[in-house]
Every structure is written in C-alpha cells, then in structure tokens.
Amino acid sequence: MIIVTVENICKSYGEKTLFKDVSFTISDEDKIGLIGVNGTGKSSLLKIVTGEDSPDGGTITIPKGATIEYLDQNPDLDPNATILEQVFKSNSKVMSVIGEYEKTLDLISKNPEDEKLQNHLLTLTSEMDSLDAWDLESKIKTVLTKLNVTDFDKKIKELSGGQKKRVALCSSLISPCDLLILDEPTNHMDNDTIDWLENYLQTRKGALLMVTHDRYFLDRVVNKTLELDYGTMYTYNCNYSQFVEKKAERIALENSLEEKRQSLYKKELEWIRAGVQARGTKQKARIKRFEELGESNYSHNSDDIDISVAHSRLGKKIINIEHLTKKFEKKTLIKDFSYILLRNNRIGIVGNNGMGKSTLLNIITNKINPDSGSIDIGTTVNIAYFSQHSEDMNPNLRAIEYIRETAEFITTADGTKISASQMMERFLFTDDMQWCYISKLSGGEKRRLYLLKILMTAPNVLILDEPTNDLDIDTLKVLENYIDEFNGPVISVSHDRYFLDRTCNKIFHFEGNGKISEYIGNYSDFIDKKKEISNITSKEEKTNKASKETNNQKEKTPKLKFSYKEKLEYENIDKEIEKLEKKLSNLEEEVEINASDFMRLEDLLKEKDKVEEELLFKMERQEYLENLAQEIEENKKTL
C-alpha cells in the first residue's frame, strides 16, 4: 500500500534552492533513511511531507484516512504538563482516552469519595476495554522507562533538552500511525538507549522515514535510502552499507560522463574559435549545443571537502592527569582518576547520560576546576575543543567574517598557503554561503562552520564532545579521515558507535559513582569485552542483586496502604498476565507451524520477544504489588 506519493516538488528560500523536481513514494513496508549534506533541505522535506510546510511546486498525495506521526528535531512541548500528560497529548482516540483515564485516576486519589469521578472512571474503563487500551498504557510506561525517563509525574519544564526529546520520541513511537517520521532521533541518547530504539524500530509495523547521521543505525534499520545531493533526489532500495557501494558506482558513472562532456565541450570550443559563421541550420544547432554544454551543471562530490590544515609541533609531555576527583552536589562524577595522555591515543569516552563524560573534558580544557587532583599540560600543547554546544555565534556576522576572526590565511598540511575564503570553499561553503549571515545558516551548517574554525587554529590535541550531533555523514567521513592523519592525541565523547569504531583505539567507560574503566580497542571490542566479563560474573551479580534487593526491602519504610492507582493495578494484573501468557502460547504454536517459512518466522519471533518482555515487566510489577499487599496486611496486624 502506498502511503505517500511525492511528485516533482521543489523548495527555495530566497535565492537559495534547496531541491527541485523531487519525486519518490513511501509504501507501508518502507523503512527509509533520508541523508544529505547539512543545508540541503532534509528537515524541510520532512515538514513538507507532514504538511507543516508547503512546496513551491509539485504535488504530494496521501490517501484519505492515512495518518502520519512526526518527531521534530526540536519538539515543542507544554512546559507545565507532566511527562505522562505530554505523552498522552495526541490526536488519536486511544491516546486521548488513556490520558483522560490517567487524569481521572489522579483526581480520584485526591477525592476518593467523589461519586461523579467514580462514574466517569467506570465509563473510561469501559472505553479502555473496547479500545483494547490496557496493553498500550503499559507499553507507554515501558517505552518511557527504556528511554531512561522514569519519573512520570515530573514537569516538562524540569527536564533537560535530551530528556524532552526522549519524551517527545515516546509519544511518537506509541501513537498509532501509518507513517512515522523521525528527525535526528538518536541525538542526546546514550548507546544502550540507541540499541533499544534500533530493535524497536526493526520490529515496528508500518512505514518509517527518518533523518539521522548514525550510520550503524541506518545500516540496521532501513531498507531504502533517499539521498538529497545538491538539489537532486537519488533513490536506493537498500541500507546504508549497500548505499555507499551504489553511490560510488553512480559517481564513477557521472565522472565518466563528465569527462566525455568536457572532451566534447573542448572540441566544440575549438570549432567556435575557428570562426565558423553560423549561417546554416547545422551551424546554428551546433552553437546551441555548445552553449548547452557550457551551461551543464555538474554536481559536487562530497569528497571535495578538504580540511588538511597543518598541525603545530607537539612535545613529549602532553597531558598528565593525577588523582582527579569531581562531585556535583552529592553525586560523584569522577573519583581518583589518573592517566598520562600519549601522542598515539585515540580515546572514546562512553557511558550513560549524566555520568560526567563532558565534565572530564571541561576540566581538561580548564572550563571548570576539579575538587582535587591535578592536570599538567605540556608547554607545546595546542588544544582544539569542539564543544557539544557550539560557541555563541554573532548572528549578524557573515560566515567568512566569523572564520577571519581566527585567520585570514592558513597553511595546509602540504605547506600551501591559502586564504580563509579558499578554505571555506574546500569545506563546501560556496561564495554565496560565505557572505551569508550566520543567522541564515542551518544548524548543521553552523556546526560545520564551527568545526572549520577550531581546526584552522593548527591544533596538536583534539578534544571532541559529541562531534556527530548535527554534522552530516559526508562531513563526518572527512573528520574521520582528518583524525587518521592527525599527528596528536584525540579524545572523543560520542554516542555514535560507527564513529567510535572508526576512530578509537581505547575506550574510557564511565560506569557511575566516579568509576572510569579503560578498555583497549574500539567500541565493538569494548562491547565484546563487556559481554565476556558479564558472562563470567553473571552468577555473582545475581547473588549480589538478590542480596541487595533483600537489604533494600528491609530498609524500606513499611507502606500502610495502596495508592488508588496501585489498588486498581493489583486487581487487574492477574488478568493482564493471563492474557499475555495466552498470547505467548499462541505465538509459540505459530512458530512451530511456520518453522519452514523464514520470513513469517522472523516476524513471529520478533513479536514473541516483545510479548515476553512485556510479560516480564508485568510479572515484576505483580511481585512488587503482592509483596506490598503482604506488607500492608502485616502492618494491619500490628495496629
């Protein structure tokens, strides 16, 4: 089934043409990755498909009744809503009913004798039954938890930017729709959460269209790639790895055609210069063909990006870290950490959000001070720090003026002296873009401009904080090549697994409570080592967990009664578990029946995994509620 048909659309802003004559279709089985250099109009195209913006020309056809859910790169949320209230704000009937149900439960918990509220709750309960909404409500809380959002009653205004994005993502993932559109869904996510989202989207039914720079994510999720390349759309029915191969074939063909065009143009130029008079029809046609050849616009290749700037000399002593400790309030982020940075180090820093990764970079770059310990930096060290948040750029400056603040001329790695304008051109800033005000640049173009500026300082130590956020894939590939040739150490905080695999030879893992563990190798090596350690120590961990849970139960203050929500959940949870067990049993039977049908079997096994995960969640809740009920009864006996 075709959900969206796009035919010959175009879009311009002022004199800048984003794209023209773009055509493609989206079917219900498509999982599409939309890629392209920053500023080519990817986010604009998403907004046009959703109806938030209009094309300058062309048509978009969406069948009547087809629904689209869209996650904006910068979602607009209600600051005064709670997390659950925000998630339930949806146009779908089922989400509306669940939201009203949760709201009524909260009111009844405060006014348990209100008969009107109780009658309203009965009506909503009936609607929940008819819409089969109980599983969805449970799924919402499960998805929020998987996205590391656990305090459901917290106000949106109290959340960080990354947390707000994950709340909006949950709302988009849960809302029933025919087409799910996601703009940079993995930004500000830790690697564990990205892994979960990857698996979720792989098993999700329905069409998917997303913009992301995460190449592993694209490789594992999408089955179709759309590339916006200087205003032209190219369609590839494959994932990212296959796209790279097919694009290389396309460029080779285009280069061959361009060589032929140049050869023909040269011959026509010689003919024109020979002074042949354009009297006859043939001569006029030939002159016209010459003019057309001259006007042919050969598209740029992303490999044209060049940031081969010179590096300054680096002495033997680089950065020595000794017994570093840092706390914020009562939370220990770094505890007694020591390390001697070497010239060949390519360090990737990983760990959950809020563990202190960026804090370590800020201490090294003297942005903040440690509580104790010291950092000794060599006299020849010149650090380039690419911050997670681009420095404040004067929006009234032109792009070239911003670059000239650093240098008017620079020396490249081969010793050539070039101007700031030439360097910007190498970095895909055309003449028009160079004289464009910074306020007119896209977010990705600003990040590319910021990256160019810090690299023009001829650094010999490179520190990158989430460098892949908002940088397009082509720029990332060039940055990776730059790191290959860089004659000094590189420290990167990143959630981009491909980037970490491509650039790192050592991993620092922030485990929590100030502990930083070191692993030799890239990110994949780190994951393999973690699995190996996990398998060896699994029995010990289970024993420790059981002991810890027992101690925690002893330490808990006895609870004298259920909340209204818990009481209702306790009364219904047996039925919900029974329903899930029956569903699991039916799936197991279908797995046996379809053992020889690989495609069907794959879908069944994925669905079975989801049901098992939901069943486990319910059983854990059941155990908690039963323990709580027993505790309440024991408290009653002591009264």
What would the pLDDT profile of 236-286 be if each residue is shown by its tens digit? 999 999 998 898 888 888 777 777 767 766 666 665 666 655 445 555 565
Tell me: do 79 and 201 sit in the same domain. Answer: yes
Q: Express as a percent the part of the chain with pLDDT over 90.
A: 39
Q: Are residues 428 and 497 in the same domain?
A: yes
**How far is it, in rounded angstroms, from Cα 75 to Cα 71?**
7
- Asked whether residue 112 is assigned to any structural domain, the reply reads no
Q: What pLDDT is stored for residue 477 in this prediction?
A: 85
Lowest-confidence region among 89-103, 145-159, 174-188, 593-607: 593-607
Give domain status of residue 189, yes or no.
yes
- Looking at residue 279, its pLDDT comes to 46
Of residues 156, 175, 153, 173, the one with CA closest to residue 164 = 156
The residue among 173, 108, 126 whose CA lies nearest residue 147 is 173
Task: Determine the Cα–Cα distance for residues 359 and 387; give it in Å rounded to an integer.
Answer: 11
Whether pLDDT at 222 is above 80: yes
Residue 302 has, within 13 A of its CA and on its CB side, a CA count of 20
pLDDT value of residue 559? 46
Q: Which residue intervals of 327-472 are DSSP H helices? A: 357-364, 399-404, 420-426, 431-434, 443-455
CA distances from 284 to 260, 266, 569 (A): 22, 18, 84
Among candidates 553, 540, 560, 347, which has minimal Cα distance to 461? 347
Measured between its terminal Cα atoms, the distance across the chain in Å is 65
pLDDT band at 552 (very low <50, low <70, confident <90, very high): low
Closest CA to 50 of 29, 33, 79, 26: 26
Instruction: Say if residue 346 is in the same domain as residue 438.
Output: yes
Please say if the pLDDT value at position 637 is more than 80.
no
Residue 290 lies in a domain: no
In a domain, 339, yes or no: yes
Question: Is 342 in contact with 318 (CB distance < 8 Å)?
Answer: yes
Residues whose CB falls within 8 Å of the CB of residue 46, separated by 6 or more in sequence, listed in order: 34, 70, 181, 183, 209, 211
Q: 16-30, 43-57, 339-353, 543-557: which range is least confident on average? A: 543-557
pLDDT at residue 309 tops 80: no
Can you give the three-state secondary structure of 545-573, one letter per residue? HHHHHHHHHHHCCCCCCCCHHHHHHHHHH
Pair (466, 586) in one structural domain: no
Do 353 and 210 share a structural domain?
no
3-state secondary structure (DSSP) of residue 170: helix
Extended beta strands in 283-369, E state: 319-328, 331-341, 346-351
Range of the domain at 565: 556-638
Position 47, amino acid: K
| Residue 385 shares a structural domain with residue 469 | yes
333 and 447 co-located in one domain: yes
pTM for the full predicted model: 0.70
Residues 444 and 507 in one domain: yes
Is 117 contained in some domain?
Answer: no
Q: Decide if 338 contacts 457 (C-beta within 8 A).
A: no
CATH of the domain at 627: 1.10.287
Confidence band, pLDDT 50/70/90 cuts, at residue 304: low
pLDDT tens digits for 148-169?
888 888 999 998 878 888 999 9
Domain termination site, one of 195, 228, 243: 243
Least confident of 313-322, 571-580, 599-608: 599-608
* Structure-block tokens of residue 457: 């300082």
Are 220 and 246 contacting, i.e. CB atoms less than 8 angstroms apart?
A: no
- What value does the mean pLDDT take over residues 492-504? 93
| Listed residues 521, 548, 582: the one ending a domain | 521
Q: Determine, yes or no, domain membership for 305.
A: no
Say if residue 438 is in the same domain as residue 387. Answer: yes
Per-residue model confidence (pLDDT) at position 288: 55
Confidence of residue 40 (pLDDT cuts 50, 70, 90): confident
Q: What does the pLDDT average to over 123-129? A: 86
pLDDT at 391 over 80: no
Among 4-13, 505-514, 558-567, 578-587, which is the least confidently predicted range? 558-567
Is the pLDDT at 558 greater than 60? The verdict is no
61: phi then psi, degrees, rounded to nearest 5: -115, 125
Check the CA dihedral 107-110-115-118 and report its sign: positive
Which pLDDT value is given to residue 66?
A: 92
Same domain flag for 212 and 351: no
DSSP designation for 470: T
If you average pLDDT over every residue of the chain, what do you get?
A: 84
Are 614 and 139 in contact by the 8 Å Cβ rule? The answer is yes
Does residue 625 belong to any structural domain of this protein? yes
Percent of the chain with pLDDT over 70: 86
Q: Is 239 left (phi over 0), alpha (psi -120 to 50) or beta?
A: beta
Residue 527 covered by a domain = no
Question: Picking from 236-240, 356-360, 470-474, 510-514, which range would have the lowest pLDDT averaged per residue?
Answer: 470-474
Query: Residue 469: what pLDDT?
Result: 83
Whichever domain contains 415, its CATH number is 3.40.50.300
For residues 362 and 237, state if they share a domain: no
Residue ending a domain, choose from 188, 218, 243: 243
φ, ψ (nearest 5 deg) of residue 182: -125, 125
Residues 579 and 510 reside in one and the same domain: no
**3 state SS for 500-516:** HHHHCCEEEEEEECCEE
**Which DSSP category does 393 fall into?**
P
What is the number of domains present in the chain?
Answer: 3
Amino acid of residue 363? I
Neighbours of 419 (CB within 10 A): 15
